[in-house]
Structure 1
């Protein structure tokens, strides 16, 4: 069976993503409107509302960047990168169907604050990624500024913060298992993306040597280990 050309596949993937995330954003907006209309304005409810607004902003930005994204220069081959990307991206959606556990109000506030921070950082990363955003492992444009000068994959790290907030909001064995599954496939997605970026951009090797993969506080030590020795520290061999 002959596959459709890359431009057609990209159009189908783009249209599917736009439809899916538009539906998600619409449902989230409807939930937020109903909550604002009937909710009592307590501190926990205000924090919960801010978390919903942050989630809605992230969904809207995903739709916008998908609509305007650049055509791919290179795409990962095979079925595994596509399956890993889909499971890693959409596994957390299944957390909505998990029955919610009644948790203490203090834990709910902490979970909402973690979610707000996570979504805020995701919006920052996605804003810089812009037209290079995609679900599957593809290379469109190499972004090395903003959060991408701190770590190579900041969006994955920030999505993990969001996932932590979701699990804290409903700490059951099922949510923990789904969250762990999502993280495992996100890591595979990240590895596949690394391969594509290295193949597409000759400057990616130099970028990866000076920038850590996921953990920001390793940035300075990473750069120090990978920096070339200065003339003052170079040892002169004995004559």
Structure 2
């Protein structure tokens, strides 16, 4: 399964690199993120514990959900909103990339115990990758607003909250000690 997952993300990285070369500069950091995910899926620790199969499948569905937004692109927003959306996308992707680098061999798409990451952005918030993904998705929606896209964003955030809960359950006691040191799950001073 790891090899198949890695191949998928490597193909995505290639497609995003192609988009970057065709004049879509925001696709370059997305290509880097996808490529690093492919590498991490091949070079990672085996899980000590994993979530149930339905939860693992739901996690994969949640990871792929933002791709559905491309099916409902709204009309381009006015230039200031598009610029804000691009900035938010870039910040979100860079945060997710930083989180993925910090995760190292503990990375996975589905909830599993491969150890804790406590460096980089994980020193301040417990789930920075999900925050980065949500920021990037929200930025995309600012650029191309649509009701369907907003619905997908809400579904992605709700599924991220479920994934967080499932991950916290799988990680067990070590995670509870980490959570006592790092208070915020995704948004400092909020949650």
Q: Which residue of 2 aligns with 1:56?
A: 31
Residues 83-131 of structure 1: CA deviation (Å, up to 9, x unaligned): 3202211110111222341221221111111111111111111000011
Residues 8-46 of structure 1: CA deviation (Å, up to 9, x unaligned): xxxx2x1221121112111111122122xxxxxxxxxxx
Q: Does 1:128 align with 2:116?
A: no
Greater C-alpha Rg? 1
TM-align CA RMSD: 1.8
1:89-238 mapped onto 2 (5 Å cutoff): 89-198=63-172, 202-218=173-189
Equivalent pair of 2:126/2:179 in contact (CA under 8 Å) = yes
Equivalent pair of 2:73/2:145 in contact (CA under 8 Å) = no
Counterpart-to-counterpart distance in 1, 2:53 and 2:38: 26
Q: Which residue of 1 aligns with 2:18?
A: 30
Residues 182-232 of structure 1: CA deviation (Å, up to 9, x unaligned): 11111111100000001xxx432221112124245339xx9xxxxxxxxxx
Counterpart-to-counterpart distance in 2, 1:78 and 1:26: 29
Q: Which residue of 1 aligns with 2:3?
A: 15
Number of equivalenced pairs: 191
Equivalent pair of 1:88/1:184 in contact (CA under 8 Å) = no
Which 5+ residue runs of structure 2 have no aligned equivalent?
Answer: none
Which 5+ residue runs of structure 1 have no aligned equivalent?
Answer: 1-11, 36-47, 223-239
SS across alignment from 1:24:
helix
Counterpart-to-counterpart distance in 2, 1:178 and 1:98: 10
Deviation of residue 69 (structure 1)?
1.0
